[in-house]
Amino acid sequence: MAGKVAIVTGAAHGIGSAIARRLGRDGYDVCLNYRSEPGKAEELAAQIRAMGRDAIALYADMADLASVRKMYDDCLSHFGRIDLCVNNAGISSEVYFLDATEEDFDRMTAIDWKGLYFSSQYAAKSMIERGIKGVIVNLSSNQTEGCWPRATIYAPTKAAVSKFTKNAAMELSLHGIRMVAVAPGYTDVGWSEGDIRLEAASRLPFRRFATMDEVASLVSYVASDEAAYMTGNTVLMDGGATLPVVAANDFV
């Protein structure tokens, strides 16, 4: 991937940082987006530069399209091109339907859906202007397939991401640009011991969560030339969490 440039949103921590690190190892120069953790983003940029690649950390709040536009302008000013866009940034605030407020709704949809939509548009336009047959990877979720409590805002935004991926991929195919969604399930992002979410691992077929590096590996694959005939689909990676429930995980 030498000479290719990737932009990763929400890259300062969690899955986004694992994706950015993996792309650096794959040979990409990387633009790292952050909103609230500039120190972590700069540290990761230094790690990628130590791999022999170029990397910069740029601020943008995905709910603020002016700052997203500026991030793309700054990325293009520095690198001159974008070959891969990974729309990872998102929030997953949990709130019961009857307790949800307009503020909850607007903030989550602005980041997880609206921000991703226009980030994709900015990336695609930059590719088309430069004749680049690039790739856009959107982070969806297995919540498009199953139902969890306190997710009446979050899950529909991810369903929108998966449906958007299909429609946009159809249009972008005319320009040789691929768009694919990756839908992880429970992923170990470093939750503290005692976090109630950790209890879910024992109810999964593999009795563990995905690692961030496993998700990053999938993103790396779908962005690679090995997946050159893949576009418009959502690749589910949840360790079988949405398979039919088997009582007590007893397969005997």
Q: List the catalytic residues.
A: 154
Give the residues across from 4 on adjacent strands. none
Q: Please state, in angstroms and rounded to a whole number, the distance separating the CA atoms of residues 213 and 26.
A: 13
Burial of 9 (0-12, 13-18, 19+ CB in 10 A): buried
Q: Please state, in angstroms and rounded to a whole number, the distance separating the CA atoms of residues 62 and 120.
A: 12
Q: Helix-strand-coil percent breakdown of the chain, rounded to 5?
A: 50, 15, 35
Q: Phi and psi dihedrals of 181, rounded to 5?
A: -105, 145
Q: Phi and psi dihedrals of 87, rounded to 5?
A: -90, 90
Q: Where are the alpha helices (DSSP H) in the chain?
A: 14-26, 38-50, 65-79, 102-109, 116-129, 154-172, 212-223
The label of the residue with tokens 């088309």 reads 128
- Confirm if 15 and 190 have CB atoms less than 8 A apart: no
Q: Report residue 196 as tokens.
A: 């109630």
